[in-house]
């Protein structure tokens, strides 16, 4: 995808019903965009990955900068908040935390709203070349059984770097209401330890 050839407009994350239920908070500053499918209300966005030539607008996943001590994340298998983060100041110059994932460890975000327009995501990571990070989307579409869709398996390097643009995949399941509650799970596979930071979702439309 060529980012400077496609106009991409920001759309929000989080359905009104989810906000009322306290699943995630919607910032007061949100921009309107006529013609966007009803579903997830609007939320402020930023060109988080512009230094790498990606000028799309992104919103941060709940607690995606880890600066709230991962209070809204579900950590397992030894995953933990650590001092030190990616040096890019994507979330802000004062950021100083990241998530450490030992082999087999996983971290799951709080639920956010995903519509058909939420097509891609990115985050930053570093880790051993002998493993990877598996990214999955967890959702429940009017059933009592949670569904899991694999988004990607990401190989990282020893130095902090943004991932490639990853397809959300699960946005295809948003359905008529166009507001699907989704959490993202990151799991370290293989050997070695990993760190992740700055998890962002891209809500966009063309034209």
User: What confidence score (pLDDT) does residue 203 get?
Assistant: 86
- Taking a C-beta distance cutoff of 8 angstroms, is the pair 132, 154 a contact? yes
Could you tell me the domains of the chain? 62-197 (2.60.120.260)
φ, ψ at 189 (rounded to 5°): -115, 155
Each residue's pLDDT tens digit, 13-54: 333 333 333 434 333 323 333 344 468 888 889 999 999 999
Q: Can you read off the two tokens belonging to residue 53? A: 């030539």
C-alpha 206/C-alpha 5 separation (Å) is 10
User: What confidence score (pLDDT) does residue 192 get?
Assistant: 81
The residue-averaged pLDDT of 169-173 equals: 87
C-alpha 154/C-alpha 74 separation (Å) is 20
β-bridge partners, 12: none
- Taking a C-beta distance cutoff of 8 angstroms, is the pair 82, 102 a contact? no
pLDDT at 8 over 50: no
User: What confidence score (pLDDT) does residue 142 get?
Assistant: 65
- Which residue from 133, 130, 121, 70 is spatially nearest to 97, judged by alpha carbons? 70
User: What confidence score (pLDDT) does residue 23 get?
Assistant: 39
pTM to 2 decimals?
Answer: 0.78
User: What confidence score (pLDDT) does residue 10 get?
Assistant: 34
C-alpha 157/C-alpha 130 separation (Å) is 10
DSSP assignment string, 175-187: TTTT-EEEEEEEE
3-state secondary structure of 163: coil
User: What confidence score (pLDDT) does residue 35 get?
Assistant: 41
């Amino acid at each position: 995808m060529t980012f400077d050839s496609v106009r991409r407009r920001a759309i929000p994350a989080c359905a009104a019903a989810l906000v009322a239920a306290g699943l995630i908070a919607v910032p007061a500053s949100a921009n309107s965009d006529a013609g966007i499918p009803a579903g997830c209300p609007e939320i402020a966005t930023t060109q988080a990955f512009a230094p790498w030539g990606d000028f799309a607008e992104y919103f941060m996943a709940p607690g995606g900068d880890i600066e709230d001590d991962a209070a809204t994340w579900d950590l397992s298998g030894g995953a933990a908040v650590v001092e030190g983060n990616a040096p890019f100041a994507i979330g802000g110059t004062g950021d100083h935390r990241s998530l450490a994932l030992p082999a087999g460890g996983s971290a799951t975000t709080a639920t956010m709203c995903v519509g058909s327009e939420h097509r891609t995501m990115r985050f930053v990571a570093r880790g051993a070349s002998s493993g990877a990070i598996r990214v999955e989307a967890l959702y429940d579409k009017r059933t009592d059984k949670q569904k899991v869709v694999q988004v990607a398996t990401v190989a990282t390097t020893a130095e902090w770097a943004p991932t490639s643009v990853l397809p959300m995949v699960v946005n295809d399941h948003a359905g008529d209401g166009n507001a699907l509650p989704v959490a993202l799970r990151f799991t370290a596979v293989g050997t070695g330890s990993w760190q992740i930071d700055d998890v962002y979702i891209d809500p966009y439309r063309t034209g």
